[in-house]
Structure formats: C-alpha cells, structure tokens
Structure 1
Amino acid sequence: MSFVLIVALGLAAAAVVAVFCWGVYLFTKQSEVAGDISLAPPKPKRPSTFILNRITELIGRPFVGAVKELVGPEREESIRLRIEAAGCPEGLTVERYLQRKVGEILLYSTAAILLLTRGQTMLAMLALCFVVLTDADLLLKTRQRQDDIQRQLPDFLDVLAVSVGAGLAFRQALARVADSMPGTLADEFRIVLRQMDLGTSRREAFQALRQRNSNEALGKFVTAIQQSEELGAPLSHTLLNIGQDMRRQDAQYMRRKAQRLNPRVTGITAATMLPGLLLLVGGAMILGSGIDFTGVLGG
C-alpha cells in the first residue's frame, strides 16, 4: 500500500511539473496565447541597417557638421530628392547619408592605401569600389521603385476611375484605393495625401510627386490630372483614358526592357558555354587526329 501511495504521489508531482512547464511555454510563446497581457502597444521596429553602413555612419558622425557646411543647401536638397526617390531605405536621412559617405571615404580609402603598400593592387581597387556603396544602393532601389510604379499604375488608375465614377471625391477615392492596393505607388500617393492634409495645394503636392519619381507614365498622369483640374474635364473619363494609355505604355516599356536584357543574356550564355564548347571541339579534333600520345609523352 505504501508503494502504491509513493507511486501516486510521484505521478502527481510529475503532472504538476508538466502542467507548470506547459503554462510557462504558453505564456512566453505569444503566437499561441489567446491575448496579450500587456496593454501597451508594440513599439515600432526601426528599419535594420546593414553592418557596413553602421560602421561608416559611426566613423563619419564627428565630421558631419563640417561636411554639411561644405555641401550647401542646394546639394542637400538634391540628396534629399535622391533619398526620397529610393523610398528612404533603412530610414535614411540627409545627415545619415553624409555620415555614410564620409565614413566610406575614410574607411575604404585607408584600406585601399594599406593594400597598395603591400602590393595587392586588385584588392585595393576592390576596396575603392565600396566608396560608392551607398550611392549604388540608392540607384538600385530607385530603379526598382520605378519598375514597381510602372507595373502598378494601370491597375491603380482603373480602380481609381471606378471609385471616382461611383461618386467619391477624388481625394477620398485616392485614399481608399491607396489603402486597398498597398505597394510602392500607394506609398507615394499617401505622401501626396499627407502633404495636402498639412496645407499643401493639390498642384504642388502632385508636382512634388513628379519630382520624386522619374517614371514617364506617372509624370503624364500628373500632367493629365492638372490639365483636367484647370479645364474642368470630367475626372472619371480622364482617368479611364489615362489608364488605357498607361497599359499601352506599360507594354512598350516591357518590350524595351526585354530588348535591353537580350544582349546581357547573350553575353552570359556565351561566357558560360563558349569554354566548354571549345574544349569539346578541340578534344574531338585531337582524338580524331590519331596522334600517339604515348610517343609524345615518352611513354
């Protein structure tokens, strides 16, 4: 009887421990808990920054004040437009951009000089290429955003035309379509709406939209909107006509893009297949010539 009691107590203790561990697991794993016990809203996550960019920002931070005086307001405005055109990657600002550029010049130039003193010219040239790391990243992201805008614009305009034709005001329809069709183009129009909420006129807000983006189709859309506002033309018909034109331009844009890719594909194909083809043809010719390799090699 005492043995049975000891076993029962042991099993009960094990069950209590198991229930306790399971409760701790559910409490710490928020995805499986019915509700969050904390009332405070989650803190917004700061965009992650590439480790090399963090290092260059730390290096260039002491010099940013002097660099801003040398750059001047016009150059700062140009940098700001470039950053906005790239979508402000990693929460980049003009000040952080200047920090990165100074840090890149100091860090990678010093590394290149050290490599040159050791006679490693190729590695020195590779280190110097990292001086334009931030500019190359901005250029790449700007092109990607413009491609996204070109692809999203026709569908966005069709839905916007239907919303305006249903009786919604242009501003309200623009906000609703931007919320229902998230993407790069929707983010740009949210910026326009935010600027208008802060007191900017519609013409100035759309003009700033055109300055931020080099996409030709988007520029034509802004021009058509401004002309429709000045001439008093029905906005829904204007949007439908613009949407049809955008689809034709999008097809032409994709054809031009495919034509630009053809030489690259040809070059990559030639670079990868040509060595193997030469080896195959050369090997076949040598084997078919009947040369006695044992005599040549002295075997």
Structure 2
Amino acid sequence: MMILAYLSVIAFVAYLVQIIYGFAFKRREKVKGRLHELEQDFVDPTDESVLQEPFKERIIKPAYQKFTALLGRTTPQGISKAMERTIIQAGSPGNINVNRLVSMMFMVAIILPAFYYLLLQATGIEVNILMIILLALAGFILPYYILNIKARARRAKIQKSLPDMLDLIFVSVEAGLGFDMALKRTTEKMPGPLSDEINRAIDEINKGRRREDALRGIYKRTGVDDISSFITAVIQSEQLGSNIANMLRVQSTSMRQKRRQRAEEAAMKVPIKMLFPLVFLMFPALFIVILGPAFIRIMSVFAD
C-alpha cells in the first residue's frame, strides 16, 4: 500500500508538471506538434534521426495518449456526450477533451486517498477505509464539478451581456450597416465569450457553412436559451424577408425585460437565503452579547 501511495504521488507530480508546462508553452507546443505532423508525411519512421527526439516525445507522450484514449473508449456514450457538451459550454479551457477529463478524474481519485494515507502514516493515526473511499469518490467527481462551475459561470456571463449586445446591434443596423457587419462591429466593441462565439460563426459562414447551421451552432456551444430564441428570430426574419431592424428592436426589449425579471427574482430570494445565516450565526452571537451580562448578574445574585 505504501508503494502504491508513493507511486501515485510521483505520477501526480509528473502530471502536474506536464500541465504547467503545457500552459506555459502551449502555443510553442502547438506549432511544434503541427510541424511534427507535417514531418511524418515526408520522414521515414525508421530513420535514426527519430531516435534523437526527447524521451518525452517518443515514449511518455504516446503512452499517455493511448491511456487517455483507452479511458475515453470505456466511458459510456451518454456520459461522454454530456462531458463533451459541458466542455464546449465551458469554452474548452486548456484545450481539454473528454479523454483528458476522464484521465484527470481517475488520477485525482487516486491522488487524494494516497495523500490521506501518507498523512495518516506519517502521524501514526489508524487509516479509515471509509474515508479513503469517500476521498476517492470526491476526487473522481471534483474535476467535472469544477468544469461544470466554469460552464455555468460562462453561460451566466453570456446571458448577462446579450441584451447590451442586442442594443448595440440594433443601433448599428438602424445606422445603415448590414446585419453581418453590425455583428462584426459589435463584437469589436464588446469583447467576451459571446463575441468569440459570434466571430466563430461569422468565420464558419465565410468558409462556406450554411448560415442557419452556423448561427444555431452558437446556441449549441453556449447552452443559453435566450440565444436560441434570438437565433430563431433571426433565421425566421431572413426566411420571411421581414424588416430585421424591427425584429432586433423586439428582441432587445424582450431580453432587457427578461434580465430585469431575473434580477427581481434573485432579489426576492435574498431574504430566504439570509434566514439560515441569521438564525444559526448572527442570532446566537446577539443573544450572547445582549443576555450574557444579565445572565452573569443573575447567577451572581443567586450565588450570594
């Protein structure tokens, strides 16, 4: 058990160093990987120059890729699709994919119990098997939970910025710009995740993808229902040939009303959320401060 724990810690440290290195030199590694792919089409794999590559590129990286691919294949298809959807809605942080996410979940599920075991061994406390199982479950869930939090935060940010962006698009169209040019000009003025998704859709349209599919892809990558209604209104307006400025005015007004309603709903939830901190944290302290001196005086009187 001790050997397994030490090996787990060593593997975790190596994996952490690799992640930090990947973030620090991500662009360089991307260019290097692309050049390596191009070289494979022209270089004989049996050439001795291949052996001059670093050990990490020849052994560790292919083994890690095969390991993550194996874990990805063993993941059920429904769970894999749900993870992929969450990764896309989170903005694909660190260019993570389903295979890397699953491997990270398994690794954290091994590392947390290993650290707990080593800590108890160092302090001489008896190991609790139930705690090890709970830590393994928590470590398995933790990476996906953090990714889900990032996806929710990104959706909330997109939903919050949508009414302001619609106002700016409407003003641009009213000023005489075309819808595509208004989108492009708005994304330049309002950088953010929503602007990134719109720019991606514009690039896909310029590369030949159907306009409807490119616009609907924004909703698939964000998961915000308000964007779905806006995209549907844009597509219907183009198909029916109606005035797009009037549609933008209606959508802008509707989105601002929805944002106001969500703010009012959140404000109405505040008293309920404050109830438990007041009852269990603030009221006991107030009772001690207010009734404490009186209780001490009463006790002193009865003691006399």
Report the TM-score, using the length of structure 1 for normalisation.
0.69
Q: 1:61 touches 1:99 (CA, 8 Å); kept in 2?
A: no
1:95 match = 99
**Higher mean C-alpha deviation, range 70-79 or range 191-200:** 70-79
Deviations 1:229-279 (A, max 9, x none): 221111111111100111000101112223344433332333331331232
In the alignment, the residues of structure 1 paired with residue 26 and residue 239 of structure 2 have an alpha-carbon distance, to the nearest angstrom, of 42
- Matching of residue 68 in structure 1 with residue 72 in structure 2: yes
Superposition deviation, residue 113 in structure 1: 7.0
In the alignment, the residues of structure 1 paired with residue 129 and residue 291 of structure 2 have an alpha-carbon distance, to the nearest angstrom, of 36
Deviations 1:24-48 (A, max 9, x none): xxxxxxxxxxxxxxxxxxxx9649x
Superposition deviation, residue 167 in structure 1: 2.9
Deviations 1:13-66 (A, max 9, x none): xxxxxxxxxxxxxxxxxxxxxxxxxxxxxxx9649xxxxxxxxx9x97663122
Code of the aligned partner of 1:237: N
Q: Over the residues paired in the alignment, what is the CA RMSD in angstroms?
A: 3.3
**Higher mean C-alpha deviation, range 261-270 or range 147-156:** 261-270
Q: 2:162 touches 2:255 (CA, 8 Å); kept in 1?
A: yes
Superposition deviation, residue 98 in structure 1: 2.2
2:232 match = 223
What does residue range 1-299 of structure 1 map to in structure 2 within 5 Å? 46=26, 63-71=67-75, 75-111=79-115, 118-119=127-128, 125=134, 128-291=137-300
2:176 partner SS: coil
In the alignment, the residues of structure 1 paired with residue 166 and residue 72 of structure 2 have an alpha-carbon distance, to the nearest angstrom, of 41
Q: 1:83 touches 1:93 (CA, 8 Å); kept in 2?
A: yes
Q: 1:217 touches 1:249 (CA, 8 Å); kept in 2?
A: no
Q: 1:60 touches 1:103 (CA, 8 Å); kept in 2?
A: no
Structure 2's unaligned 5+ residue stretches are 1-23, 28-60
The structure whose Rg is larger is: 1
Aligned residue pairs: how many?
A: 243
Code of the aligned partner of 1:152: S
Q: Identify, as 1 or 2, the structure richer in helix.
A: 2
In the alignment, the residues of structure 1 paired with residue 25 and residue 206 of structure 2 have an alpha-carbon distance, to the nearest angstrom, of 26
Structure with more contact order per residue of length (Cα contacts < 8 Å, sep ≥ 6): 2
In the alignment, the residues of structure 2 paired with residue 231 and residue 95 of structure 1 have an alpha-carbon distance, to the nearest angstrom, of 44
**Higher mean C-alpha deviation, range 196-205 or range 111-120:** 111-120
Task: Specify whether residues 273 and 98 from structure 1 end up closer, same or farther in structure 2 by C-alpha distance, changes over 3 A only.
Answer: same
**Higher mean C-alpha deviation, range 148-157 or range 119-128:** 119-128
Q: 1:112 touches 1:128 (CA, 8 Å); kept in 2?
A: no
Report the TM-score, using the length of structure 2 for normalisation.
0.68
Code of the aligned partner of 1:66: L
**Higher mean C-alpha deviation, range 74-83 or range 157-166:** 74-83
Task: Specify whether residues 254 and 123 from structure 1 end up closer, same or farther in structure 2 by C-alpha distance, changes over 3 A only.
Answer: farther
Task: Specify whether residues 127 and 71 from structure 1 end up closer, same or farther in structure 2 by C-alpha distance, changes over 3 A only.
Answer: closer
Q: 1:108 touches 1:131 (CA, 8 Å); kept in 2?
A: no
In the alignment, the residues of structure 1 paired with residue 141 and residue 271 of structure 2 have an alpha-carbon distance, to the nearest angstrom, of 28
Task: Specify whether residues 294 and 273 from structure 1 end up closer, same or farther in structure 2 by C-alpha distance, changes over 3 A only.
Answer: same
1:83 partner SS: helix
In the alignment, the residues of structure 2 paired with residue 178 and residue 157 of structure 1 have an alpha-carbon distance, to the nearest angstrom, of 11
Superposition deviation, residue 153 in structure 1: 0.9
Code of the aligned partner of 1:134: P
In the alignment, the residues of structure 1 paired with residue 128 and residue 244 of structure 2 have an alpha-carbon distance, to the nearest angstrom, of 67
Q: 2:109 touches 2:138 (CA, 8 Å); kept in 1?
A: no
Q: 1:87 touches 1:142 (CA, 8 Å); kept in 2?
A: yes
**Higher mean C-alpha deviation, range 119-128 or range 214-223:** 119-128
2:300 partner SS: coil
In the alignment, the residues of structure 1 paired with residue 72 and residue 156 of structure 2 have an alpha-carbon distance, to the nearest angstrom, of 32
